[in-house]
């Protein structure tokens, strides 16, 4: 058997053979996605966008919703994401939806069902981040973050539950955060919402499990998305130093874990939360 040095050479040779495409292409092992419908909330930007693209690369049709962020229109980003998805030759539905509004969510799910079929997969990636010390948080800042990150996910899950139960199949993945496990200054509303999302994940797994529906969560650390624009270079550098891998995850790293949880390889996993944080929390 080869020793440690031989193993290292073998790994290097394998990486050269695989090439850099593994950084952006989903693994060929994610079978069972082609021709099915994936629904992604908050799919125009950030992690949600990358999740939507990776589903499409696997041949899944994609329905994604989006809504304007505080002080920023998402129209252009949504149109760009929609165009990229269409280039992958899958069916696409893009719609502006306020996930805080249960009626709008129900309408979106029904429209996706009519146009694309299913749905078979739901990824709750819609989220906002309005930070500040808790004694300065306004009622609006608290409600916005909790309502989008937590209530919005509940509305989406409740809307797809009848279809998932009737077809006795479905995969739900909620995008939480490591902030749910380790509080930091100025994120009381965000941490509370993401902690609640973990509780929702585990309870939904218990409710929907008898209908053969898997419900899991992914808790990213600091991921290189536009949300980091509000974080100082010093904090990012310190975070990279704390992470045992010495780097920050990319959106595609989170997306590949999501696809794994939606694949049949994860059919016995439910009610779990997987951290994708480069070892930030150890």
Distances (CA, A) of 67 to 62, 130, 239: 17, 15, 29
Residues 6+ apart with CB under 8 A from 214: 170, 171, 172, 205, 261, 266, 267, 269, 270
Smallest Cα–Cα separation from 122: which of 53, 174, 190, 186?
A: 174
- Taking the alpha carbons at both ends of the chain, their separation in whole angstroms is 31
CB atoms within 10 A of CB 118: 23
Q: Are 38 and 119 in contact (CB under 8 A)?
A: yes
Closest of 52, 109, 55 to residue 81, by C-alpha: 52
Active-site residue set? 190
State the CB neighbour count (10 A cutoff) for residue 4: 7
DSSP single-letter state for residue 60: -
CA separation (Å) from 184 to 113, 130, 192? 40, 14, 11
**Nearest Cα to 227, choosing from 201, 196, 248?**
248
Strand runs labelled E in the chain: 37-41, 61-66, 92-96, 121-124, 170-175, 213-220, 273-276
């Amino acid at each position: 058997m080869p020793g440690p040095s031989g193993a290292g050479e073998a790994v290097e040779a394998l990486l050269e053979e695989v090439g850099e495409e593994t950084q952006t292409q989903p693994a060929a092992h994610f079978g069972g996605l082609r021709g099915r419908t994936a629904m992604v909330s908050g799919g125009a930007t950030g992690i949600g966008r990358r999740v939507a693209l990776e589903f499409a690369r696997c041949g899944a049709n994609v329905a994604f919703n989006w809504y304007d962020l505080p002080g920023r229109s998402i129209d252009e980003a949504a149109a760009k994401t929609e165009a990229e998805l269409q280039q992958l030759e899958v069916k696409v539905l893009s719609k502006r939806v306020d996930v805080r509004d249960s009626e709008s969510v129900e309408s979106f799910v029904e429209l996706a069902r009519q146009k694309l079929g299913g749905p078979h997969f739901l990824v709750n990636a819609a989220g906002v981040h309005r930070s500040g010390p808790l004694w300065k948080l306004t009622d609006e800042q608290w409600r916005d973050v909790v309502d989008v990150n937590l209530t919005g996910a509940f509305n989406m899950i409740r809307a797809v539950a009848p279809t998932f139960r009737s077809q006795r199949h479905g995969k739900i993945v909620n995008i939480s955060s490591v902030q749910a496990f380790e509080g930091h200054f100025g994120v009381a509303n965000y941490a509370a919402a993401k902690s609640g999302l973990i509780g929702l994940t585990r309870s939904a797994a218990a409710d929907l499990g008898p209908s053969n529906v898997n419900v899991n969560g992914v808790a990213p650390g600091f991921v290189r998305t536009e949300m980091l624009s509000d974080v100082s270079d010093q904090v990012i550098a310190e975070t990279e130093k704390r992470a045992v891998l010495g780097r920050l995850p990319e959106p595609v790293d989170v997306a590949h874990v999501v696809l794994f949880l939606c694949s049949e390889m994860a059919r016995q996993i439910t009610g779990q939360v997987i951290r994708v944080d480069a070892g930030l929390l150890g």
